[in-house]
């Protein structure tokens, strides 16, 4: 066995030992039981080196941060955690998640645990990013017909502009034309469908739209208005599925979860919160990997309302054996090259920890995280209420808000949990006792 194969085998063993609570080895500890240094040592065992660890400790410099945004005065940090127990399409993953909300990483790990030993099966239907060019013309129908006759020329123009993507196997896949009626009158809208390979493609598509618009104006007359990509991405839908065992959950738990899911299907107030829980997980992975979580949010909620009524992005039902089957269908507009992924040191390390080699693979992991997150929240709500586990983890935040630091904050949090009195006021009172 060569060195690379040995390293990959070691990686799979470590991930399995760290993540699989139901089949843990006798000499391994769960990731959440380790201190930070032990976790970093584990990561170093299979993928990180000393330089990676240094970059994790230092993060992005203030000087470089000022190049990424405007009017920069500081770096606003966010915790970077690791979700365990994830097996997607037969491969084990440790999943980096950047989020400040208590219990999200723990919930994702717990939800994924219930999907073991088979884990999640997932697919991504494609990486086509859509750009839009709005044309204001005198005779929309005539212009549309003319553009339709020019379709092959327009595709050639797109590929000339996006030649770097064409070289990597992407490029224009289609062009369509619509007349969109608005309060300001009808516009001809040109939709460009471009395979952006492993890039999210926003900058590329925006550049293509801006360069193509003047050529269209020159050809058909009138004027162009908007030239930009769309964040509604049904061409990038990811699907994930998992079986959650009746033996682990219990029949009553499954029935209560299905009752809760039924409410989300019927009540927009619940459906919105239901989907917010999904995005807790997906957004956290997006931030960790340098992807645009705002685009993901916009696309997901638009997709949830695509049939004219806002609905859950997940679906639950029982199989013939009484097990709970969970599925998710959600647009995932992401990339693993270009943009912030190429310049942010922590983002590079997060992708290294994940070990994904294609945007498709990352999309499958992210959809699985969204399903695991939603399952864990639905189970908690149906069985014990969401606040029990959340507030136990939130107790440390309250202790810190009261002014406690380090081990003192941990001790105050443990006492609040033990006494069932988790509040900022009680944390302040306990801090006074410690002084």
Every domain of the chain and the residues it spans: 77-124+238-384, 128-234, 389-434
Which single residue is written with the structure tokens 């940090």? Answer: 77
Task: Tell me if residue 276 is catalytic.
Answer: yes
- What's the CATH architecture for 389-434? Orthogonal Bundle (1.10)
Point out the catalytic residue in the list 144, 236, 344, 390.
Answer: 390
Distance CA 423, CA 416 (A): 8
Point out the catalytic residue in the list 292, 329, 361, 394.
Answer: 292
Confidence of residue 385 (pLDDT cuts 50, 70, 90): low
pTM of the entire structure?
0.87
Confidence of residue 434 (pLDDT cuts 50, 70, 90): confident
Task: Tell me if residue 217 is catalytic.
Answer: no
Confidence of residue 294 (pLDDT cuts 50, 70, 90): very high
Query: DSSP states of 99-149 as a string?
Result: --STTHHHHHHHHHHHHTTT-BEEEE---EEEEEEEEE-S-HHHHHHHHHH
Q: Tell me what pLDDT residue 420 has.
A: 81
Which single residue is written with the structure tokens 């088979």? Answer: 118
Q: Tell me what pLDDT residue 29 has.
A: 59
The three-state secondary structure class of 220 is helix
Task: Tell me if residue 432 is catalytic.
Answer: no
Which of the residue ranges 78-82, 164-168, 271-275, 392-396 would you say has the lowest mean pLDDT?
A: 392-396
Confidence of residue 262 (pLDDT cuts 50, 70, 90): very high
Point out the catalytic residue in the list 11, 32, 217, 276.
Answer: 276
Q: Does domain 128-234 have CATH number 3.30.70.420?
A: yes
Confidence of residue 33 (pLDDT cuts 50, 70, 90): confident
The hierarchical CATH code for the domain 77-124+238-384 is: 3.90.770.10
Tokens of 232: 């509604």
Contact 334, 200 (CB under 8 A): yes
Angle, helices 345-354 vs 268-288, to 10°: value is 100
Confidence of residue 45 (pLDDT cuts 50, 70, 90): confident
Which single residue is written with the structure tokens 């507009």? Answer: 333
Point out the catalytic residue in the list 11, 13, 32, 101.
Answer: 101
Q: Tell me what pLDDT residue 286 has.
A: 97
Segment 169-187 mean pLDDT? 97
């Amino acid at each position: 066995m060569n060195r690379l194969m040995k390293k990959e085998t070691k990686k799979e063993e470590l991930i399995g030992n760290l993540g699989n609570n139901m089949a843990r080895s006798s000499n391994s500890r769960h990731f959440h039981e380790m201190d930070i240094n032990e976790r970093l040592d584990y990561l170093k065992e299979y993928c990180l080196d000393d330089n990676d660890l240094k970059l994790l400790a230092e993060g992005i410099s203030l000087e470089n941060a000022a190049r990424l945004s405007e009017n920069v005065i500081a770096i606003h940090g966010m915790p970077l955690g690791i979700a365990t127990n994830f097996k997607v399409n037969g491969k084990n993953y440790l999943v980096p998640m950047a989020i400040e909300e208590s219990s999200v990483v723990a919930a994702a790990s717990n939800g994924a645990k219930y999907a073991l030993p088979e884990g999640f099966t997932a697919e991504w239907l494609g990486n086509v990013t859509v750009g839009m060019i709005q044309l204001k013309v005198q005779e929309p129908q005539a212009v549309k017909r003319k553009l339709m006759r020019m379709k092959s020329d327009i595709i050639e123009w797109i590929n000339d502009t996006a030649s770097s993507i064409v070289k990597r196997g992407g490029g224009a896949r289609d062009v369509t034309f619509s007349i969109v009626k608005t309060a300001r009158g009808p516009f001809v809208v040109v939709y460009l469908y471009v395979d952006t390979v492993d890039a999210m493609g926003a900058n590329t598509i925006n550049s293509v739209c801006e360069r193509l618009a003047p050529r269209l104006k020159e050809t058909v007359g009138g004027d162009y208005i908007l030239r930009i990509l769309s964040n509604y991405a049904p061409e990038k839908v990811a699907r994930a599925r998992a079986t959650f065992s009746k033996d682990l959950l219990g029949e009553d738990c499954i029935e209560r979860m299905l009752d809760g899911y039924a409410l989300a299907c019927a009540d927009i107030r619940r459906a919105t919160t239901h989907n917010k829980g999904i995005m807790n997980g997906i957004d956290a992975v997006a931030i960790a990997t340098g992807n645009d979580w705002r685009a993901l949010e916009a696309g997901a909620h638009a997709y949830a309302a695509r049939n004219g009524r806002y609905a859950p992005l997940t679906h639950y039902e029982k199989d013939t054996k009484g097990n709970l089957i969970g599925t998710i269908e959600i647009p995932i507009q992401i990339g693993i090259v270009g943009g912030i992924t190429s310049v942010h040191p922590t983002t590079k390390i997060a992708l290294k920890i994940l070990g994904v080699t294609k945007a498709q693979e990352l999309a499958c992991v992210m959809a699985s995280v969204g399903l695991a997150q939603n399952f864990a929240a639905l189970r908690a709500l149906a069985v014990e209420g969401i606040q029990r586990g959340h507030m136990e983890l939130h107790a440390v935040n309250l202790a810190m808000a009261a002014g406690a630091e380090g081990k003192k904050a941990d001790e105050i949090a443990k006492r609040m949990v033990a006494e069932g009195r988790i509040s900022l006021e009680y944390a302040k009172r306990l801090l006074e006792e410690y002084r």
